[in-house]
Amino acid sequence: MNICMVGTGYVGLVTGAGLADFGMNVVCVDKDAEKIAALQSGVIPIYEPGLDAIVARNERAGRLRFTTDLKGGIEDSLAIFIAVGTPPRSDGSPDLTFVRQVAEAIALHMNGYKVVVTKSTVPTGTGRMIEQILREKNGRHEFSVVSNPEFLREGSAVSDFLRPDRVVIGANDARAVEVLKEIYSPLYLLETPFLITDVVSAELIKYASNGFLAVKISFINEVARLCELMGADVHAVAKGMGLDKRIGSKFLHPGPGFGGSCFPKDTAAVADLARQQGYAFEIIEATMRVNAATKARMIAKIADTAGPVAGRVAAVLGLSFKPETDDIRESPALSVVADLERAGASVRAFDPAAMANTKALHPDVHYARDAYDCADGADFLVIATEWNEFRALDLSRLAGLLRSKTMIDLRNVYDPDEMREAGWRYAGIGRP
């Protein structure tokens, strides 16, 4: 089957390559000509473990190609996936301009029956909007509109796509369901749960899932704060909670607040969606406030441990919003950098993948070669993102490079007792 993937970003590129791996003929389209030129010459424009191999394998097999020619992609394909960005507007509502543009292009260029599949995270009602555009602007050809939300996580996107917990197919007609089942047939054979539902419910599943995960993160961050006030250890509390099967241990790791391109945007979108229906989604509203407060609290934690930061040099390890990605969208590490700069500190930083993306936003930061170069001459060290290579740092070498043995570990990578025994002034999150 021929598939057109419109939008070749974190989701579109992984999904396109993954579907090609399932045996589909996939053309990935993007309006960013530079990105497409890079992909055509074998350069993967994002950092995502394992992505280069799956792209190369499927390109070699002739099942995956890249183009800016949206018209050709639409004409040649039965299924057209929309995987463009849906960034937040200032009021929290998602900007659907790109989705609308693609729907209009599909209406203009469709030359027969098409299954239009929304992969982007969109508010409920978007499927109806796409349907209306296709009906009004095309008029001749039949089509189906499907919601097929994506749950992959950056950093493990390839394996998440190839082995998902579930596949959600929201469709209002059986013909479209059959097309989607054929596309995902390798997962069907692996007995991956398929949830077939209507379009609106599928759209809401994605928002409700991300909203719930954001609540879970904010909940443990609140517990961590309480632990700090009471002298308890958040890791013991989280473990005790997580052993209860009704709660589960995942997403109970305290930190400097959630970030990334999904949770902040999707919580704001759920809240906005509810408000538009005249309903206040109180738990989500509280979660957004808790997350903002959690992020804002980090600079005070740094100053409590290291002393006033004005005029001093901070070494910050990690800039991406989580390890194994170069994505810095809404990264809590960057809000730490911004708060340090605002408070008068100068910042040295190192990240294994995200420095190129950060440079334009924070030109005044000194970008280091590695963790040790980052620490060289700094007054204190902040671990802001838990890349694996920061888990086994040579602490005595670091101590020799820093002006004082001070570490603020916003990801609880190190053991507080061991650090204090080794003479460090150390603070983590939610630990005595």
Ligand X SMILES: NC(=O)c1ccc[n+]([C@@H]2O[C@H](COP(=O)([O-])OP(=O)(O)OC[C@H]3O[C@@H](n4cnc5c(N)ncnc54)[C@H](O)[C@@H]3O)[C@@H](O)[C@H]2O)c1
Instruction: Look up residue 136 and give its two tokens.
Output: 């009004």
Rounded to an integer, what distance in angstroms lies between the CA atom of residue 254 and that of residue 238? 9
Instruction: Look up residue 92 and give its two tokens.
Output: 């929290």
Under DSSP, is residue 47 helix (H, G, I), strand (E, B) or coil?
A: coil
Q: Measured from the CB atom, is 49 or 242 closer to ligand X?
A: 49
Q: Measured from the CB atom, is 104 or 222 closer to ligand X?
A: 104
Distances (CA, A) of 222 to 54, 286, 302, 416: 40, 11, 18, 20
Rounded to an integer, what distance in angstroms lies between the CA atom of residue 100 and that of residue 46? 25
Structural contact between residues 188 and 181, judged by C-beta atoms closer than 8 angstroms: yes
Rounded to an integer, what distance in angstroms lies between the CA atom of residue 197 and that of residue 195? 6
Rounded to an integer, what distance in angstroms lies between the CA atom of residue 78 and that of residue 197? 21
Distances (CA, A) of 359 to 10, 330, 332, 355: 20, 15, 16, 6
Q: Measured from the CB atom, is 153 or 275 closer to ligand X?
A: 153
Find the shortest distance in angstroms from Cβ 12 to ligand X.
6
Rounded to an integer, what distance in angstroms lies between the CA atom of residue 344 and that of residue 21? 50
Q: Measured from the CB atom, is 120 or 291 closer to ligand X?
A: 120
Tokens 């020799």 found at = 400
Which residue, among 287, 288, 296, has the nearest Cα to 219 in the 3D structure? 287
The secondary structure of 95-132 as a DSSP string is --HHHHHHHHHHHHH--S-EEEEE-S---TTHHHHHHH
Find the shortest distance in angstroms from Cβ 15 to ligand X.
9
Q: Measured from the CB atom, is 84 or 271 closer to ligand X?
A: 84
Find the shortest distance in angstroms from Cβ 37 to ligand X.
13
Q: Measured from the CB atom, is 170 or 428 closer to ligand X?
A: 170
Instruction: Look up residue 77 and give its two tokens.
Output: 């394909």
Find the shortest distance in angstroms from Cβ 45 to ligand X.
8
Find the shortest distance in angstroms from Cβ 9 to ligand X.
2
Rounded to an integer, what distance in angstroms lies between the CA atom of residue 16 and that of residue 56? 12
| Residue 4 appears among annotated catalytic residues | no
Q: Measured from the CB atom, is 2 or 101 closer to ligand X?
A: 101
Find the shortest distance in angstroms from Cβ 121 to ligand X.
4
Instruction: Look up residue 335 and give its two tokens.
Output: 């809000």
Q: Measured from the CB atom, is 262 or 355 closer to ligand X?
A: 262
Structural contact between residues 6 and 119, judged by C-beta atoms closer than 8 angstroms: no
Which secondary-structure segment (H or E) carries 399?
helix 395-401
Find the shortest distance in angstroms from Cβ 127 to ligand X.
14
Instruction: Look up residue 256 and give its two tokens.
Output: 């400097």
Sheet bearing 2-6, strands edge to edge: 64-67, 25-29, 2-6, 79-82, 114-118, 143-147, 167-171, 194-197
Under DSSP, is residue 30 helix (H, G, I), strand (E, B) or coil?
A: coil
Residue numbers at the binding site for ligand X (CB under 6 A) = 6-12, 29-32, 35, 70, 83-86, 98, 101-102, 120-121, 150, 152, 154, 261-262
Residue closest to ligand X when measured from CB atoms: 9
Q: Which residues contact 112 (CB under 8 A, 6 or more apart)?
A: 141
Q: State the catalytic residue, choosing from 4, 28, 227, 262.
A: 262
Find the shortest distance in angstroms from Cβ 425 to ligand X.
36
Residue numbers annotated as active site: 262
